[in-house]
């Protein structure tokens, strides 16, 4: 089944990259709006990117994209239960689920864990696979797993992680000759900045409303 999927990607060529880019952009824009439909497009984009990552010899990125598909399913149902925007038609307003924050010691602990995990996993990835960038590939995967969990749980600081992750991913895909995917991550970087300021403004509004 995997071979058929990879063969289909090779058959459509650059169209696969283009579809992943379009779906990924829609995902990011809807995520900023806290629209649960973002997870549908995120799952589609990640499915295609998983195949492209396998072809580009980025095994940990491929694993990461598969996890993204699982997280897309979780995120869709969690946001639905949390009362996030439904986006069903122009008249459907919905309610934004509350945005939370983690204290800085928690972030420092996670960054340390990612650094340790990268140090432990990267040598094995380099030995067992044909990974082109084992350390960056592994570190980006671990950080992305955390950031994806954070956005599914509506944690404000997820966007700060994505700013760094998107910059590194842009470099990785550009070096592997996937210019269109690299351009997607460049746009992701801009959207992550926009998402940070947008969600921070909403968080402040929520804090002000709770203080009344």
Q: Helix 104-128 vs helix 134-152: angle between axes, to the nearest 10 degrees?
A: 140
Q: What's the pLDDT tens digit per position in 122-166?
A: 887 777 766 677 788 888 888 988 998 999 889 999 999 999 999
The residue behind tokens 């864990």 is: 113
Residue 47 lies in a domain: yes
The residue behind tokens 């995967």 is: 141
Confidence of residue 106 (pLDDT cuts 50, 70, 90): very high
Q: What's the pLDDT tens digit per position in 31-42?
A: 888 888 999 999
Structural domain of 71: 2-86+104-211
Which pLDDT score is estimated for 113? 96
Residue 91 lies in a domain: no
Give how far Cα 99 sits from Cα of 95, 96, 125, 126, 156, Å: 12, 8, 36, 38, 6
Contacts of 70 (CB under 8 A, 6+ apart): none
Residue 84 has pLDDT above 70, yes or no: no
Residue 205 lies in a domain: yes
Residue 181 lies in a domain: yes
Query: How many domains are contained in the chain?
Result: 1
Residue 186 has pLDDT above 50, yes or no: yes
The residue behind tokens 């598969």 is: 66
Sign of CA dihedral 47, 192, 125, 13: positive
Residue 18 lies in a domain: yes
Q: What 3-state DSSP class applies to 155?
A: strand
Confidence of residue 188 (pLDDT cuts 50, 70, 90): confident
Residue 99 lies in a domain: no
Rg (C-alpha) for the chain, rounded Å, is 18
Residue 66 lies in a domain: yes
Which pLDDT score is estimated for 90? 36
Identify whether the C-beta of residue 75 lies closer than 8 Å to the C-beta of residue 60.
Answer: no
Tokens representing residue 141 in the block: 């995967």
Q: What's the pLDDT tens digit per position in 6-27?
A: 566 665 666 777 888 889 889 8
CA nearest neighbour of 61 among 131, 12, 2, 160:
131
Residue 17 lies in a domain: yes
């Amino acid at each position: 089944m995997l071979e058929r999927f990879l063969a289909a990607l090779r058959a459509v060529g650059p169209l696969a990259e283009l579809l992943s880019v379009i779906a990924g952009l829609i995902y990011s824009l809807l995520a900023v709006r806290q629209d649960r439909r973002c997870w549908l497009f995120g799952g589609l984009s990640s499915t295609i990117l998983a195949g492209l990552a396998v072809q580009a010899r980025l095994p940990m990125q491929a694993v990461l994209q598969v996890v993204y598909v699982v997280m897309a399913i979780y995120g869709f149902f969690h946001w639905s239960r949390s009362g996030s925007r439904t986006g069903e038609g122009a008249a459907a307003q919905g309610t934004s689920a509350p945005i939370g924050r983690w204290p800085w010691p928690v972030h420092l602990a996670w960054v340390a864990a990612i650094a340790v995990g990268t140090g432990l996993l990267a040598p094995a990835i380099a030995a067992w696979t044909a990974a082109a960038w084992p350390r960056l590939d592994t570190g980006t995967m671990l950080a992305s797993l955390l950031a994806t969990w954070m956005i599914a749980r509506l944690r404000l600081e997820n966007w700060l992680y994505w700013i760094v992750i998107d910059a590194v991913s842009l470099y990785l895909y550009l070096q592997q000759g996937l210019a269109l995917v690299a351009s997607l991550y460049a746009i992701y970087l801009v959207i992550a900045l926009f998402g940070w300021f947008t969600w921070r403004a909403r968080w402040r509004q929520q804090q002000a409303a709770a203080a009344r």
